[in-house]
A and B are shown apart, each in its own frame.
Chain A
Amino acid sequence: MFSTFFSFEIKTWLRAPMPWIFMFVFGMLAFSGTISDDVQIGGSYGNVLKNAPFVAENWYGVFSILGLLLITAFLNSAALRDFENNTAQIVFASPIKKAGYYFGHFFGALLIAMIPMFGVSLGMWAGVVANSIFEWLPPERYGPFELAGHINAFLVFVIPNMIFSGGILYTVAILTRSTTQSFIAGVVLLVAYLIAGNLLKDIHNEAFAAMIDPLGVRAFSILTKYWTVDDKNHLSLGLTNPVMFANRLLWMCVGLAVLVAGYFRFTFSEKNKAGKLVKAGEVKAEILGIQQLGVLPKVAPIRGAAMAWAQLRSQFRTDFMGVVKSLPFIILSIVGLLNTLPSFFTATQSYGTHNLPVTYDIVDLIRGTFFLFVYAIMAYFTGALIWKERNAKVNEIYDALPTSNWTGYLAKFATIIAIIFILESITIGAGVFAQMMNGYHRFELGVYIRELLVIDLLGFAFLTVLFMLVHTLSPNMYLGFFLSIMLVAVNAFVWSPLNINSNMVKFGGIPGYTFSDFYQYAPYAQGLAWFNIYWLLFSGLLAVATICFWVRGKESGLEKRLSIGWQEWKNYRVAGIGLLAIWLVTAGFVFYNTKVLNKKPSGDEQEKRTARYEKDYKHYENAPQPRIYDVKYDIRIFPENRKVEADGQYWVRNKHDRPIDTLLVSTPQQNLHFSLKNERLSLLLNDSAVSVQLYRIQPALAPGDSLLLKFSTVYHPEGFENELSISQIVQNGTFFNNTEISPNFGYQPGGELEDKNKRRELGLPEKSRRPALNPADTLHRMNSYLTNDADWVQVETTISTSADQIAIAPGSLLREWTEGNRHFYHYKLDHKSWNFYSFLSAHYEVAREEKGGINYEVYYHADHAANVPRMMRSMQKSIEYYTQHFGPYYHKQCRIIEFPRVASFAQAFPGTMPYSESIGFIENYQAEKDDIDMVFYVVAHEMGHQYWAHQASGADMQGAEMTTETFAQYSALMVMEHEYGHDIMRKFLEYEVDRYLRDRGRERLKELPLAKCEGQGYIHYRKGSVVMYYLKEMIGEDQVNLALRNYLERFRYADAPFPTSLDVVNEFAAKTPDSLKYIIKDLFWDITLFDNRTQSAGSRDLGNGKYEVTIQVKCRKLKADELGKETEVPLDDWIEIGAFARPEGDKKYGKTLYRQRVKITQKDNTFTFTVDGKPEKAGIDPFSLLIDREPKDNLKKVE
């Protein structure tokens, strides 16, 4: 009996198009992903082979989420076929066994639902084969076909997910006999997946998140997060992994349990309709029927505006109440809100600290957690409303009523918009409530309203209009849904590969924008307004089309529908033509502004230009050019119309031993007017497409001679752009660098294309990121990695802005005055510095303190005062530590200057540190929760740069960032340790190790040891912190500081040749005792990893509050190559062991009961020690001093 239904199901489906269509679709996606870098499935895989087993398995994971819809479709049909075709009575009347019927259909459909998944393997395989013929991508991007990845993907994702979700969906479908409810079940499954993702945000929930993810995709990413490129190229995760196995087993069992439970509930009998009816309405048998009484009042229908308005209201009420009372709406809203609201209370934490629940972040949170549901509700109900009358079979009555199409259209449109409006208002209310609960009272309702109820609601409205048109034209509701989703997907993905990047073309496209407390929306307002008007008018046109083609009656042929549409058009001609005219005028205006006034090259074009710059000018790379040594500026900022005029003068000198007769100038990019003047210069070439000017110097500049070059730059925006290109110059909160208004001399390798594959595509040779570390390479030691056309420079600036703003330039303020409605400032550097500094202007509050001859200043937005005192303290503590250990500070001021959240970083310039609104200023440090004080840390880091970068910076070769970023990290760690204590550092180090381990798996080229890093943040920041801290633990803080001081004394403000990482590593080595010398190699010259694990931890109560703790630990030491391939090396290392008490209150860490460094020489070790107090956890390397492949297993609960 089972086999009858099983094979029936299979045979039916094999003849049906659906499995094959979906296999084709999946195959095409996988194929495109395999042959191109533009199509990404589940993110970018960096340097990993395109057909690596890891990629295949990941894709299967992603597709098995998409597959949820498929499973729903297949199993729903299998479960409901007999009910929908009304064959149930016939089938059930025949002598069949329940089990055979129930399970036969299930497993048959399940097997069929796997067919589309094969598309992933087929598509990938076809992609590899096709690429071997056409070579779209270089052949070395592909490896051999590894079957194991595909088999594991089936075992890990496809089969368990199908059984899990299939079991549930099939059971829901067959018991409720309702398509709607099984689709709702599908949505609920999706939500469970999202919630698991939310929990993952706090990394300490990872083990839990890995188990509760029913689809295994998150579990997969958690388990593989530390995989290196080499791992990803060769390994795949199978069921042999115990966590994966447990997860899969758990959720398969859940699916099967639901299936079996459903089997017992399932009966062949039809739902008792009569019984239900009596219950629902209690309508009993009728006695009287139609009465013969009286005449009906004779009221004839009327027309006119008042009637139309009444009709519109009545239709709206009916549609709106119909949606609000419907089950899918209630479920989707509740599930959506349940997914969103809790995140308001947890999402303020990130990376070990808390932020204030500022409104713009809450708004982003609503977008991130709730909009998926808004989209689902909008897409579903747009279809459901357009098909409402037809689905309810009331359409023939409706369609013969004397209403106008527009009232029906408007009622349905308004229903969707009203629903979204209400849902978003609820989330706003919840957001405000969450802010209140967090003790935050700056609610900014205006921001909520403008973001969610104006800009986003308009976007939803445009899409609703589009979906309504699609459903109106579609001959079938499901086709309507399919076409709607396809349109959205096509609109999202098609334009970029086609190199069309105009918001005029991408449906509903508006410029990106960033709200800031400084300028609200000011620089974006014009573009936002015009593009919204443009799409509003276009949507109006679509609406007119929809109204004309509004389905009325039973005609379905294209020709008939066109003729009916044409008849209707006559009613809307005036509105339609009027709208079209206004839209065309608007389109013309927008086109003029974005494509004529502010024409921008496309992304492809920009890449081609970059490549041409390299091809045409690379030969100037080592041509001698004059060096800048003195700079003066006169900068006039006009914030109200975002205009900047800058006049500058450079004193340059020929430091070479032969005359210079050619000057290669890189002009500031994107400027409107730039000019460079000196009577000895004559322009040879103006290649504005690549911002290059070439001048002859006549007579040539003799060795040792100087020249005064005057230049002027004017930035003056006109109209509005497709996307705002200059967000640095705004109405309030201007922040730009000298490089953005001043020319550079000589060839600028920083402007070259980096991407390996793009370079190959455009015919450029392979490029190394940095010249190799070689102290003898004096050519590359001529420049620090910061600049290549200047040495230490003196800077003097006159800067003016509007009367209500403060303008800031580098150095001490010599004079400040007001002239008319302009505010003038005169600044001068106290000590020569790198030719790298910034200018700012905004409406600021200023906090000032003077201590030891140094002015400490924080310039901040009036509403952002909360963390200013801690910034002050951090600056002062930093200066205290650095002057004591590293040497004098040469500026007379330390300034922190807030800038708008268009970027979220802090940056150190000489004496000046611009700091983004969106980081330190919104932090909400909670010491009682063992937070990391990020404000304190970031300020200390930037202060560190006043030494490590601004007093000495590495030469332009490998390891350069180690001399700046790594030491700034180290300096900040020391200031923090002195402020907050030894033990709390572990939280910071844990995060650093975690980020290092994650990011090294995404390396695009090759991982390098710290001393040879090539601008790789995960090495010079993350690994750098851990390495320096471990070095400090091993040789002592004093010795590290002494080494750093010695290094600095050799290179402070020194001219070329500039230092290399070798110079400073040698200083460390000099301070390291011979017994520990091995760590210098481990830390700086190798990629060294440990695999330390505590296998068991036990304790014995000795009485008197004393406990004896015994731990068994396993240790391995590994060295990795550039791609992460590991080799085990013998152990002979000092590693800590320790034990902790249970944490108190909200604290994250318990009291340290024991901390001891031990020498480990073998893999398996047992240690016994006595502690005061009851231990909760114990283990090896408890403070994350070493880089551990899997830091989570270092500590174990004490038994």
Chain B
Amino acid sequence: MQLTIRNLSKTYSNGVKALQDINLDIPTGMYGLLGPNGAGKSTLMRTLATLQEADSGTITLGDINVLKDKDAVRRTLGYLPQEFGIYPRISAVAMLDHLATLKGIPGNHRKEVVEALLQRVNLWEHRKKSVSSYSGGMRQRFGIAQALIGDPKLIIVDEPTAGLDPGERNRFYNLLSEIGENVIVILSTHIVEDVKELCSNMAIINGGQVLYAGSPEAALLQLEGKIWEKAIAKADIDDYQSRFRVISSKLVAGKPIIHVVSEGDPGEGFRVTPAGLEDVFFSKIMAA
């Protein structure tokens, strides 16, 4: 099973070009979709999840035409939107049972599926509580539980770790990666570390365009030996930015450390540093 996106474009009525001629091949496994806020990640994800229309292009999932045969996609899709709520006054188990019904799980298996999922995401003890009373992490786990109903072949999770503490985040990723062994899991995020830890393939998109598609390793290889860093005074940032390709600046112990991209030694005391995925991300974005 492979997800193939060809020449996908979408322009909103206000003129924003959300997707511009996107081409991607997404194999089984975890696939990271990296980009800053407003890059078009969510538009792409929603289009894959049959919630939005494209202006042009094609998407195929195995032999399913995603843009045309929405019902077939929905039967094989698990989707965890970036933001979601739950009705008040309804318990987790009742809600999950309801969603399982809507997903098409036959009655004789529903109980089994719902209970297994609740145990899997460790909400079993709290299954009778109202979802609206859950903490952020529990709610997110409920979200993944519902996305896993019906043995989906394509799982789309949009910014799933926002608001989770580091421990929750780790456990969440463990679960995802386990699932991602046999199916396509598309994970959108703006957190570079997430992709590095989890994904065998990734794409960086910004301004609706694919800036990079491939494995994280290959991307890192491209930049090997070209990233230079230097600690500078705050007041000098503008000066450096005008003279070098500064891709990032972050504070370490209160002092700015800047990264620049350069084929050779830029001098002035820059030291070469191992390229991180973050450097890939920023360099791609700056280059575009």
Contact = CB atoms under 8 A, between A and B. Distances in A.
A533 B184 CA distance: 51
B86 A553 contact: no
Interface string A904-919: 0000000000000000
A403 interface: yes
Given A291-B122, A296-B113, 17 more contacts: A283-B126, A289-B172, A290-B120, A296-B151, A299-B150, A299-B151, A303-B104, A311-B104, A314-B97, A314-B101, A322-B87, A322-B89, A392-B85, A393-B83, A394-B84, A400-B50, A403-B102
Nearest to B72: A402
Contacts of A404: 71
Contact of B51 (A291, A392, A554): A554
B101 A311 contact: yes
B90 A318 contact: yes
Interface string A474-508: 00000000000000000000000000000000000
Interface in B36-50: 46, 49-50
B133 A281 contact: yes
Contacts of B103: 301, 401-402
Interface string B63-85: 00000000100111101110111
B280 to A, nearest CB: 29
Interface stretch (A556-564, A673-681, A1073-1081, A1097-1105): A556-564
Given A281-B133, A290-B175, A402-B104, A554 B121 contact: no
A555 interface: yes
Interface residues of A, number: 53
Interface stretch (B26-34, B135-143, B201-209, B244-252): B135-143
Contacts of B88: 392
A293 B74 contact: no
B51 A396 contact: yes
Contacts of A286: 135, 137-138, 168
A289 B171 contact: yes
B31 to A, nearest CB: 18
A404 B102 CA distance: 9
A314 B98 contact: yes
A301 B137 contact: no
Nearest to B67: A567
Contacts of A322: 87, 89-90
A397 B150 contact: no
Interface string B49-61: 1111100000000
The 8 closest A-B pairs by CB, nearest first: A281-B133, A301-B104, A553-B51, A393-B85, A396-B81, A402-B74, A289-B171, A314-B101
B102 A298 contact: no
A283 B133 contact: yes
Contacts of B105: 299, 301-302
Interface string A261-296: 000000000000000010011110110111111101
A293 B117 CA distance: 11
A307 interface: yes
B51 A283 contact: no
A1121 to B, nearest CB: 67
Nearest to B87: A392
Given A397-B79, A397-B81, A560-B53, A289 B106 contact: no
Interface residues on B, range: 35 or more
Contacts of B99: 397, 401
A1159 interface: no
B109 interface: yes
Nearest to B141: A290
A320 B76 CA distance: 29
Contacts of B98: 314-315, 317-318
Contacts of A301: 75-76, 103-105, 150
Contacts of B85: 392-394
Contacts of A552: 51
Nearest to B91: A281
B196 interface: no
A291 to B, nearest CB: 5
17 contacts: A288-B122, A289-B167, A290-B121, A292-B178, A293-B120, A296-B116, A296-B148, A297-B112, A299-B106, A299-B109, A310-B101, A314-B97, A397-B99, A401-B99, A403-B102, A403-B104, A554-B51
A619 interface: no
A300 interface: yes
B129 A300 contact: no
A311 B107 CA distance: 10
B11 to A, nearest CB: 10
Contact of A297 (B79, B104, B116, B129): B116
A317 B132 CA distance: 19
Contacts of A1086: none
B52 A300 contact: no
A325 interface: yes
A393 B88 CA distance: 11
Contact of B120 (A294, A302, A303): A294
Most buried by B among A281, A296, A301: A301
B122 A392 contact: no
A400 B77 contact: yes
A1108 interface: no
B13 interface: yes
A290 B172 contact: yes
B26 to A, nearest CB: 17
B130 interface: yes
A730 B130 CA distance: 60
